[in-house]
Amino acid sequence: DPVFRLLGLDIDNITMAEAVSLIQTDLRDNRQQAIYFVNPDCLNKMAGDREYYDVLKAGDSIFPDGIGLTIAGKLLQSPLKENINGTDMLPYLCRMAAAERHSIYLLGGKPGIADEAASNINREFGVTIAGTADGYFNHETETGRIIDDINRSGASILLVAFGAPLQEKWIHHHRNRLQPALLMGVGGLFDFYSG
């Protein structure tokens, strides 16, 4: 089954290679996709946060992040083909993006972190990082400026790292104004690639 239903969510039951290939096709077609990862911690937050649940439901794909989802799949007799989390996906995503000449914008993390991650990711995977911004701007007054910067950068991939559920809500709220085709919430990913 390509989908694993859990707590009302349709979680994609596919391999990493299939996931990256689907993303590649959507990028080629310039079809906008909001993609979220869920782990048990997210499901826990979702139980007490109706808006987060609605945002996840409205996403285009949800990927299963972590051993907890694998165990749930086993218990519910829908074994998951593969665990798909942002950290594991990044190398495949970046290599594909480099080959397809797509650039990436990194939004989130403490000041300086996305910049450091940008150099490291560029050096390691050869992909162009079109721009960066930290995740501690004033959401009421500065969101417009951030969105303009993302759109002007020409990036076709936007990685948002504010942590769940803030990043998912932000993507959902602003997706109509965002040019990049792929919008993805990636949690603490830039911290992992900084330094």
Binding site for ligand UDP (CB under 6 A): 108-110, 135-136, 161-164, 166, 187-188, 190-191
Q: Which CB sits closer to ligand UDP, 3 or 136? A: 136
Q: What are phi and psi of 76, to 5 degrees?
A: -90, 10
What is the smallest separation between the CB atom of 114 and ligand UDP, expressed in angstroms? 9
Q: Which CB sits closer to ligand UDP, 18 or 174? A: 174
Q: What are phi and psi of 66, to 5 degrees?
A: 105, 165
H or E, element range at 118? helix 113-125
Q: Which CB sits closer to ligand UDP, 78 or 192? A: 192
At 31, which amino acid appears?
A: R
What is the smallest separation between the CB atom of 168 and ligand UDP, expressed in angstroms? 9
What is the smallest separation between the CB atom of 112 and ligand UDP, expressed in angstroms? 11
Buried b / exposed e over 81-102, threshold 16 CB at 10 Å, is bbbbbbeebbebbbebbbeeeb
